[in-house]
Amino acid sequence: MEAKGSTTVHLAVYDTLADWETGHATAWLARAGYTIRTVGPAAGEPVTTIAGVRIVPDLALADLTPDDSALLILPGAEKYDEGDELTPFTAKARAFLDAGVPVAAICGATAGLAKEGLLDDRSHTGAVSFYLAATGYKGGEHYVDADAVRDGDLITAGPTEPVAFAREIFARLGAYEGKRDAWYRLFQHSDPAAFAELNG
């Protein structure tokens, strides 16, 4: 099911973003007809990923509203462990979830959501349980030791699971119905039979 009829997926971008974590999701959502737009601290002001790639955001976080979006993706970043600079992004995630628009967070972004209180009563995962516990959050009993977890409108994953993360995003948005299993087997397990299924 698509949020509010929108076909725009918003990808948060900020300094120290972990490049490898969202590529499967964004590339394959674009192939499924979604428009991917980047959202940064300020429109037109470049951010630099862990790899040193410069990205110029399409719009500023302050200008993003849930009504304009099918999904907000929060990649991990070292900045989540260095202070509160990215708190505006987790506050925006709260606004999305309150509006019934899905949010997908991976790696360090899960710690940001934990600090925001968004994992206190939702099933979730992350890098490891003690990483999230270090935030002081109250949701430890809801931690699931899994590649990726989807609880209603919230999707979480650890840093080594970009393929499982994408699979749960596709499931929430209803993308690749009937082919998600083949897609996952191809990219997670290099199953050659899955290629024919996916492209059949």
- Measured distance CA(121)–CA(143) in Å, rounded: 10
**pLDDT bucket at 6, cuts 50 / 70 / 90:** confident
The CA angle 100-29-74, to the nearest 5 degrees, is 55
- Of all helices (H) and strands (E), which one includes residue 166? helix 162-173
Average pLDDT value over all residues in the chain: 95
- Quote the CA–CA distance of 39 and 57 in Å, as a whole number: 5
Catalytic residue positions, numbered: 107
Give the tens place of pLDDT for each residue, 137-194. Answer: 999 999 999 999 999 999 999 999 999 999 999 999 999 999 999 999 999 999 999 9
Which structural domain, as residue segments, surrounds residue 68? 3-199
Q: Are strands 59-60 and 71-74 parallel, antiparallel or unpaired?
A: unpaired
Q: How far apart are CA 136 and CA 142, in angstroms?
A: 14
As a whole number of angstroms, the distance between CA 59 and CA 184 comes to 31
| Residue carrying the six token digits 């990808």 | 11
pLDDT at 185: 96
Global pTM value = 0.95
Question: Distances from the Cα of 106 to the Cαs of 99, 182, 198, in angstroms?
Answer: 21, 22, 25
Alpha-carbon distance of 71 to 68, in angstroms, equals 9
Domain count within the chain: 1
Q: Are strands 103-106 and 154-157 parallel, antiparallel or unpaired?
A: parallel
Over range 50-55, report the average pLDDT.
97
CATH number, domain of 153, equals: 3.40.50.880
